[in-house]
Amino acid sequence: MMTPRNRMFLAAAIVLLLALVPQVAGNFTVSLLNDVGIGALVALGLVLFTGIGGATSFGQAAFVGIAAYASAWLTTTQGMSPWIGLVFALALTGLSALAIGMLTLRLGGHFLSLSTIAWGLSIAMLFGNVEALGRHTGLSNIPPLRIAGWSLAEPRAIYYLIWGLVGLAFLFSRNLLSSRPGRAIRGLRGGATLLASVGADAYRVRLTLFVTAALFAGLAGWLYAHMNRFVSPSPFDVRASIEYLLMAVAGGLGQLVGALVGAALVLMLKNGLQDVLPLLTQRAGQLEAVAFAAAFILLLHFARGGLMGFVRRWTRGRWAARPAAAPAQPVTPLPQRTLPARGTPILSVKGAVKRFGGLVAVNEVSFDVNAGEIMGLIGPNGAGKSTMFNLLTCTMPMTSGQVRFMDRDIAGLPQREVARLGLARTFQHVKLRPHMSLLDNVALGAYARTGAGVLKAGLRLDRAEEQQVLQEAQRQLDRIGLGDRSHEMAGSLPLGTQRILEIARALAADPVLLVLDEPAAGLRRKEKMALGELLRKLQGEGVTILIVEHDMDFVMKLVDRLVVMNFGSKLVEGVPAVVRADERVQAAYLGSVV
């Protein structure tokens, strides 16, 4: 890994180089670099939304267009200053993104991508048909930018503004990714349930990300309009959107620098093709589209990681950013809940019923969990344990019955609200972010205990809170015995250790009750023993645990009390010795394929 000092030198060298270019390079190169900078801004938004957030947008050029047209219209027909144009352009782009996002982001998956094509097409069409926007001829005579009486009409002059803004957008994005909202953004690919389990709303996280990406595109559009001083519909159509997407993919979707590298790559390729193709054929325009399509397919086949993916492999990760670390000096800890006194009931299930059509998966089940105990919920395969788990974590609505948690009726609450009340869970199929460090994965668990949003994080105004979160994450890692591996990537851990890491993430939420779904499934004997020891240690520290498990031996040695389910109903409730001796339990387990 590069040392922070080396990184500083590298960054300074790049900045210096970029600052010198206009002094030595010709007009053509400077103009090309201006286009690269504008493309990089849009691609940066796509790296965030598509590369990191995991949803594809085929309509990003429409946002560039909205901003470009907004500022062009305001400055030409209303005679206002381009700086007012900037505010207007960003406001309009942000609001459009908010509206489009609210209409489409719940669609998810392929439908979401398809809808981006739909609005991408229709917005571009709009530009070509509105009289006030000059229809297909567009708007011309857009005024150039001026800063303190100094005109930026020359490519050499606007170059500095463009690259200054690219630099700021880059820093903003980098800050964002290593922050509270950034961890949620990186958690999006783990699914809505993962985010809900830490008290976050995946839809809102994605919507904020969508608007942020659109604002980057808007900034690019504003620059575009005042640099070219002419706008027409075609640079903002779906073909342009695909070009932006290609930039993000070519550079490497997973990394912010990829946006820069990709924009340079694609625009240079495009320029090269425009020089070469006319020599070969008279239909250069069409052939260019074909060449781009071919490049896209080749990329997807052979280099999904983009150019930066190659760089990373060549340098064997030495150029990778160092993951966040806990503060060296202790900071004020995050505030903690006052836990209920040992023995008070904290969770109480009464007459829970869940029907799937004709099948009654959970049938009139009632039980309590008291503070400080380890309670087990066991039963053979298909007994209804997972369904019960989903009911009491509010992952799934109940058909009838009642669940009270911390003196509140929680049936029907969204899962993230229940999580915020202090019910933390782990997953039967581990949901960790493999490319995030152990520390970051655990820090995600503290989401609901903190409040920094995108703006605060991007401007780095969240540092004090962030230090508290990282210290808390480190404390939880120490607690489960993984403290000295906090920099490693979660994906490199064996399954048993990943399960334990999920427990640390749940603990980072400062829960009242920890609910574990089949934590021993797929573990080897030694791993099971380690897990059992950890849970007992946590109990000693005052954590209340409800464990839903299939493995009877594992549970019997661990729990204070347990409930046995069979065919959806509660069979027995009691201490392990009584349950073990019960004939009905033996029959239920013998009768099933364990």
List residues binding ligand ADP (CB under 6 A): 356, 359, 361, 379, 381-387
- Residues 433, 436, 437, 442: what is their CA dihedral angle, to the nearest 10 degrees? -50
CB of residue 313 vs ligand ADP: minimum separation in angstroms? 41
State the number of CA atoms in the 13 A half-sphere of 408 facing the CB: 13
Give strand ranges (E) for 127-285.
Answer: 139-140, 146-147, 150-151, 230-231
344 binds, among ligand ADP, Mg ion, none (CB under 5 to 8 A by kind): none
CB of residue 401 vs ligand ADP: minimum separation in angstroms? 15
Compare residues 113 and 592 and give the one whose CB is closer to ligand ADP.
592
CB of residue 383 vs ligand ADP: minimum separation in angstroms? 4
CA–CA dist 165, 162 (Å, integer): 5
CB of residue 301 vs Mg ion: minimum separation in angstroms? 39
Report residue 236 as tokens.
């903002």
Compare residues 409 and 553 and give the one whose CB is closer to Mg ion.
553
Could you tell me which residues are beta bridge partners of residue 180? none
Compare residues 386 and 497 and give the one whose CB is closer to Mg ion.
386
Compare residues 253 and 396 and give the one whose CB is closer to ligand ADP.
396
CA–CA dist 371, 506 (Å, integer): 17
433 binds, among ligand ADP, Mg ion, none (CB under 5 to 8 A by kind): none
387 binds, among ligand ADP, Mg ion, none (CB under 5 to 8 A by kind): ligand ADP
Give strand ranges (E) for 3-138.
Answer: none
Closest residue (Cβ) to Mg ion? 386
CB of residue 352 vs ligand ADP: minimum separation in angstroms? 12
Compare residues 96 and 386 and give the one whose CB is closer to Mg ion.
386
Q: Binding string, 255-274, against Mg ion, x = CB under 5 A?
A: --------------------
Compare residues 104 and 386 and give the one whose CB is closer to Mg ion.
386
384 binds, among Mg ion, ligand ADP, none (CB under 5 to 8 A by kind): ligand ADP
Q: First CA to last CA across the chain, in angstroms? A: 47
Compare residues 20 and 594 and give the one whose CB is closer to ligand ADP.
594
- Count CB atoms within 10 A of the CB of residue 48: 24
CB of residue 394 vs ligand ADP: minimum separation in angstroms? 15
- Count CB atoms within 10 A of the CB of residue 309: 17
Compare residues 120 and 380 and give the one whose CB is closer to Mg ion.
380
CB of residue 136 vs ligand ADP: minimum separation in angstroms? 52
Could you tell me which residues are beta bridge partners of residue 348? 368, 404
345 binds, among ligand ADP, Mg ion, none (CB under 5 to 8 A by kind): none
- 285: CB partners within 8 A, 6+ apart: none
CA–CA dist 469, 445 (Å, integer): 9
456 binds, among Mg ion, ligand ADP, none (CB under 5 to 8 A by kind): none
CA–CA dist 392, 415 (Å, integer): 9
- R_g (Cα) of the chain, nearest Å: 28
426 binds, among ligand ADP, Mg ion, none (CB under 5 to 8 A by kind): none
Q: What H or E segment, with its residue span, contains residue 356?
A: strand 345-356
Site of tokens 């990406």: 213
Compare residues 386 and 474 and give the one whose CB is closer to Mg ion.
386
383 binds, among ligand ADP, Mg ion, none (CB under 5 to 8 A by kind): ligand ADP
- 50 contacts Mg ion (rule: CB under 5 A): no
Collapsing DSSP to helix, strand or coil, 374 comes out as strand
Q: What is the DSSP letter of 338?
A: P
361 binds, among Mg ion, ligand ADP, none (CB under 5 to 8 A by kind): ligand ADP
Binding footprint of Mg ion, residue count (CB under 5 A) = 1
- Count CB atoms within 10 A of the CB of residue 276: 12
Amino acid at 291: A
Query: Are the beta carbons of 165 and 41 closer than 8 angstroms?
Result: yes
CB of residue 78 vs ligand ADP: minimum separation in angstroms? 57
Q: What H or E segment, with its residue span, contains residue 569?
A: strand 569-574
CA–CA dist 507, 562 (Å, integer): 22
CB of residue 382 vs ligand ADP: minimum separation in angstroms? 4
382 binds, among ligand ADP, Mg ion, none (CB under 5 to 8 A by kind): ligand ADP
Could you tell me which residues are beta bridge partners of residue 365? 352
CB of residue 394 vs Mg ion: minimum separation in angstroms? 17
CB of residue 395 vs ligand ADP: minimum separation in angstroms? 11
Amino acid at 249: V
- Tell me the H-state helices in 255-396: 257-280, 284-302, 306-314, 385-392
CB of residue 501 vs ligand ADP: minimum separation in angstroms? 23
Question: Residue 564: which of 384, 405, 374 has the closest Cα?
Answer: 384
Compare residues 10 and 359 and give the one whose CB is closer to ligand ADP.
359
Q: Binding string, 350-389, against Mg ion, x = CB under 5 A?
A: ------------------------------------x---
CA 332 to chain centroid, in Å, comes to 28
Amino acid at 551: D
Interface positions with Mg ion (CB under 5 A):
386
